[in-house]
């Protein structure tokens, strides 16, 4: 069976590199997904010139949607929301809202994207706040979904509960994990464990038959594969993810120093270099995989601001998968089901 045609909007101007990395990614996606049409949002003149140079002008899967503004990485979210209505980011989101495309992908300013997506697309029924979710690697081999990575700073227990349901749906639909193990991120000590919100969320989850809740998990087990879905508030998730990046840098720096200080190791540096590179990619998931903004009435995938062509392409893949698995509808259905069961 031939897959149905679908259309995705790309914010071409976002990220540190703009079209320099978004355009090669878009071009590569054409081959990989012959059933996907791409709407390139950005400066039409610039994009047309670049497409012409690359020999892709008038390609049947491509169209250009002009945007006279660009959201800068330094723009404050509220300012971007107010003053950048003609930006490539906003226009890509508007296309989702108008049902002209099935999803959008951006490597732009995360805060602005969250604020705009929330404003333009609105929340799904039953979801109070959006969450940023990404899949991380694990020592067990299978990916681990973690949310929220920074969309919602203060989460009450209902919000965390909704995040757990959404995370389970993502793990099932995107990775095909059946009855994914869901855990709450918490700190170590038995008694002083976490805040009241976390304790209440734990209670809500253990009473919910639709969720395969396995209890608390600590930071040292994020990557162990004990859980398929890890739930926390946006502040903690953001700090944890960024800390990973910091540790990875520290380890690589130490390894390099150790190698430099050893004569024999210097000789074999060529042997180690590719490992270092692959490790740093795999361990900085934020820099490699796209993160999805979920809980909204539409699909928004966020690629890292410093995204390379490969990272942006990986975010496009993620968007295609979420469209094909109809993730927002599945989240809405699951939440309704859970709420009926609870009532």
- Chain residues that interact with a copy of itself, rule: CB under 8 A: 74, 76-78, 110-111, 114, 137-139, 150, 153-154, 185, 187-192, 194-195, 218-224, 232, 234-236, 238-251, 253-255, 258-259, 262, 264-265, 268, 271-272, 275, 278-279, 282-283
Place of tokens 């998730």: 237
- Closest approach of Cβ 172 to a copy of itself, in Å? 24
C-beta of 132: minimal distance to a copy of itself in Å?
11
* 289 CB-near residues (< 8 Å, 6+ apart): 134, 135, 311, 314, 315, 318
Q: How far is the CB of 160 from a copy of itself (least distance, A)?
A: 14
Of 209 and 247, CB closest to a copy of itself: 247
Q: Which residues contact 95 (CB under 8 A, 6 or more apart)?
A: 9, 39, 41, 65, 101, 104
Closer by beta carbon to a copy of itself, 89 or else 236? 236
- Residue 132: what are its φ and ψ, rounded to 5°? -100, 125
DSSP run (H or E) holding 216: strand 212-217
Yes or no: say if 294 and 133 are a contact pair by the CB < 8 Å rule: yes
Closest distance of CB 7 from a copy of itself, Å: 29
135 neighbors 291 (Cβ within 8 angstroms): no
Residue number with CB closer to a copy of itself (120 or 236): 236
Q: Is 82 exposed, middle or buried (0-12, 13-18, 19+ CB in 10 A)?
A: exposed
Smallest gap from Cβ 238 to a copy of itself, in A, equals 4
Q: Given the complex with a copy of itself, which of 47 and 229 has the nearer CB atom?
A: 229
Q: Assign 3-class secondary structure to 109-155.
A: CHHHHHHHHHHHHCECCCCCCCEEEEEECCCCCCCEEEECCCCCCCC
Q: Which is nearer to a copy of itself, 214 or 248 (CB)?
A: 248
The sign of the torsion formed by the CA atoms of 226, 232, 237, 240 equals: negative
Closest approach of a copy of itself to the CB of residue 71, in Å: 13
CB 265 within 8 A of CB 174: no
SS3 105: strand
CA quadruple 250, 253, 256, 258: dihedral sign? negative
Minimum distance of a copy of itself from residue 83's CB (angstroms): 14
Residue whose CB is less far from a copy of itself, 5 or 254: 254
In the complex with a copy of itself, which residue's Cβ is closer, 5 or 275?
Answer: 275
- Residue 69 CB, nearest approach to a copy of itself (Å): 19
Instruction: Give every CB contact of residue 62 below 8 A, 6+ residues apart in sequence.
Output: 26, 30, 37, 38, 40, 51, 56
Give the shortest CB-27-to-a copy of itself separation in angstroms. 30
Nearer to a copy of itself, 146 or 316 (CB): 146
Give the nearer residue to a copy of itself in terms of CB position, either 49 or 78: 78
Structure tokens at 328: 């927002």
- Give the other-Cβ count within 10 Å of 164's Cβ: 24
Query: Distances from the Cα of 228 to the Cαs of 40, 182, 280, 325, in angstroms?
Result: 34, 6, 22, 18
């Amino acid at each position: 069976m031939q897959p149905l045609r679908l259309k995705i909007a790309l914010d071409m101007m976002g990220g540190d590199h703009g079209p320099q990395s978004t355009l090669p990614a878009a071009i590569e996606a054409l081959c990989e997904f012959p059933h996907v049409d791409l709407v390139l949002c950005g400066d039409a003149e610039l994009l047309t010139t670049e497409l012409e140079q690359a020999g892709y002008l008038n390609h049947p899967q491509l169209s250009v949607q002009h945007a006279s503004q660009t959201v800068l990485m330094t723009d404050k979210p509220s300012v971007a929301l107010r003053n950048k209505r003609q930006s490539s980011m906003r226009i890509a989101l508007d296309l989702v809202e108008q049902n002209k495309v099935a999803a959008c992908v951006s490597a732009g300013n995360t805060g602005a994207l969250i604020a705009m997506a929330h404003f333009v697309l609105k929340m799904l029924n039953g979801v109070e706040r959006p969450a940023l979710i990404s899949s991380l690697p694990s020592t067990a081999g299978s990916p681990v979904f973690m949310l929220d990575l920074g969309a919602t700073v203060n989460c009450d227990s209902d919000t965390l509960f909704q995040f757990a349901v959404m995370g389970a749906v993502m793990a099932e639909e995107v990775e095909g994990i059946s009855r994914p193990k869901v855990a709450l991120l918490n700190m170590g000590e038995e008694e002083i464990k976490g805040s009241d919100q976390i304790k209440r969320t734990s209670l809500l989850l253990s009473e919910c038959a639709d969720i395969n809740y396995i209890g608390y998990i600590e930071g040292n087990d994020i990557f162990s594969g004990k859980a398929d879905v890890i739930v926390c508030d946006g502040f903690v998730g953001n700090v944890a993810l960024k800390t990973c990046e910091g540790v990875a840098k520290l380890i690589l720096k130490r390894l390099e120093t150790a190698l430099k200080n050893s004569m024999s190791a210097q000789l074999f540096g060529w042997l180690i270099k590719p490992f270092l590179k692959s490790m740093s990619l795999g361990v900085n998931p934020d820099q490699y995989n796209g993160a999805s903004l979920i809980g909204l009435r539409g699909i928004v995938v966020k690629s890292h601001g410093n995204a390379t062509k490969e990272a942006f392409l990986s975010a496009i893949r993620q968007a295609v998968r979420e469209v094909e698995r109809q993730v927002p509808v599945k989240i809405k259905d699951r939440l309704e089901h859970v709420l009926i069961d609870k009532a």
